[in-house]
Amino acid sequence: MAYWLFKTEPDTFSIDTLKSQKVSLWEGVRNYQARNMLRDEVKLGDQVFIYHSSCKDVGVVGIATVVKASYPDHFQFDPESPYFDPKSDPESPRWFMVDIEYQRHLRFVSLKRMKANPALAEMPLVKKGSRLSVMPVTDAQWQEILTMTGQF
């Protein structure tokens, strides 16, 4: 089982939205590096930190589980969708998604605290300019962030 961190903007889709839906599609990833991980490496049963970005309180807010491994993101073929990609070929879809299930909230861990923790220095999240919306988390980083919540 592997660990991941998924970014979301809470004004659009928050951990509370996920909790109320229980299971959600993780559609709309339109970055190739993130796509490659979603398509090839994120597996059923993997654990995911949910991270709130572009908001007042930026940081890790909870945990979800991957309940469906990668399959084509059908929004890329929907002209009405903000995620529509006219260049994507239905015979060979360009974008993929997974389904995740809400597991639990965590006590908030701010980006500021994560940046201040040397054990997390290698996370793309804390590196300057990183815009990855889906990123791997090592076992050690996962444990460290859980430790920072004071919950285990």
Partner DNA sequence: GCCAACGTTGGC
Q: Which is nearer to DNA, 128 or 152 (CB)?
A: 128
What is the token pair recorded at 60? 């890790």
Q: How far is the CB of 12 from DNA (least distance, A)?
A: 11
Q: How far is the CB of 23 from DNA (least distance, A)?
A: 23
Q: How far is the CB of 152 from DNA (least distance, A)?
A: 25
| Residues 101 and 64 sit within 8 Å (Cβ to Cβ) | yes
Q: How far is the CB of 34 from DNA (least distance, A)?
A: 9
Residue 110's DSSP bridge partners are 59
Q: Which is nearer to DNA, 104 or 112 (CB)?
A: 112
Q: Which is nearer to DNA, 33 or 67 (CB)?
A: 33
Q: How far is the CB of 8 from DNA (least distance, A)?
A: 9
Alpha-carbon gap, residue 15 to 11, rounded angstroms: 10
Calculate the alpha carbon distances from 26 to 7, 13, 95, 102 in Å. Answer: 10, 10, 11, 12
Using CB under 7 A, list all residues that contact DNA.
Answer: 7, 30-33, 53-55, 58, 87, 111-112, 115, 127-133
Alpha-carbon gap, residue 79 to 137, rounded angstroms: 34
Q: Which is nearer to DNA, 31 or 67 (CB)?
A: 31
Q: Which is nearer to DNA, 67 or 88 (CB)?
A: 88
